[in-house]
Amino acid sequence: MLALIRILFITLALVVICFFACVFSLLQPWSRNRVFFTSKTLGKVSKLLGLEVEVRLPASAKKIGPAVYVANHQSGLDMFTISSAVQPNTVTVGKKSLKWIPFFGQMYWLTGNILIDRVNTNKALGTITQTVKKIKGKGLSVWLFPEGTRSNGRGLLRFKTGAFRTAAEAGVPIVPVCSSNLHGAIKWNRWNNGKVIIEILPPVYLTNEDKDNVRAVANDIHALMSDKIEQLSLETGTSLNKNT
């Protein structure tokens, strides 16, 4: 019974948030924080999931200016958890098909996020150029999921290099964002589903050598994030490796 009530309230909350986010975006299309405010509001829905969300932000990651944030992508529930860590003046990059999702898709587009066509390589490369222009021209940060898809309990998947190429071309740091494991941690009929910890790591500044080898940078940051995610998951008791 709790699962049904929870799903109904979450669905209602999502529709209401998307509606008001669209209205806000239409009334203030110049606002640089449409995504920030919407993400913070979506993060509050985590309480309906029975989750406590803790965001850890080191001093070194505060007020750093434009950056490329890279985060692990676990499931569709990320919109209610890791969204709490989205920083001011940030837009996200998501797949083009998102715009066809009722309510959410329209909100995602109107709030100023960037839609990418992952099937068409030429268009995907064009999106990198578009993203770099937003970073340089408008002083915005961008948020990407470099795995390119949801991991769904498979651990941190191999990174694509688009996020790192974007940072290299824009001349901005990469900021890793790590969320503790949620796979199998949420029981819809359980009132208290524990805690998720999201930690924003210190920015990684690229050297000239790094800019010539973004694959190596992607691999290094993957290793860094994988270790941190495991550490956070052990802290919350949700490690995927706890039985091995």
Domains within the chain, CATH numbers bracketed: 2-236 (3.40.1130)
Strand 114-116 and strand 195-200: pairing?
A: unpaired
- State the average pLDDT over residues 143-151: 92
Residue 59 φ then ψ, to 5°: -60, -35
Q: How confident is the model at residue 36 (pLDDT cuts 50, 70, 90)?
A: very high
Q: What is the pLDDT of residue 235?
A: 96
Candidates 167, 149, 143; CA nearest to 218 is 167
Concatenated DSSP letters for 101-114? Answer: STTHHHHHHHTTPE
pLDDT at 242: 60
Contact 143, 92 (CB under 8 A): yes
Say whether pTM exceeds 0.85: yes
Inform me whether the pLDDT recorded for 121 exceeds 70. no
Residue 244, pLDDT score: 44
Q: In angstroms, rounded to a whole number, what is the distance separating the alpha carbons of residues 126 and 221?
A: 24
Q: What is the pLDDT of residue 73?
A: 95
Once rounded to an integer, what is the mean pLDDT over residues 206-223? 92
pLDDT, average across residues 82-106: 91
Greater model confidence, 71 or 134: 71
Please check the confidence at residue 208 and state whether its pLDDT lies above 90: no
- What tokens does 99 get? 């715009």
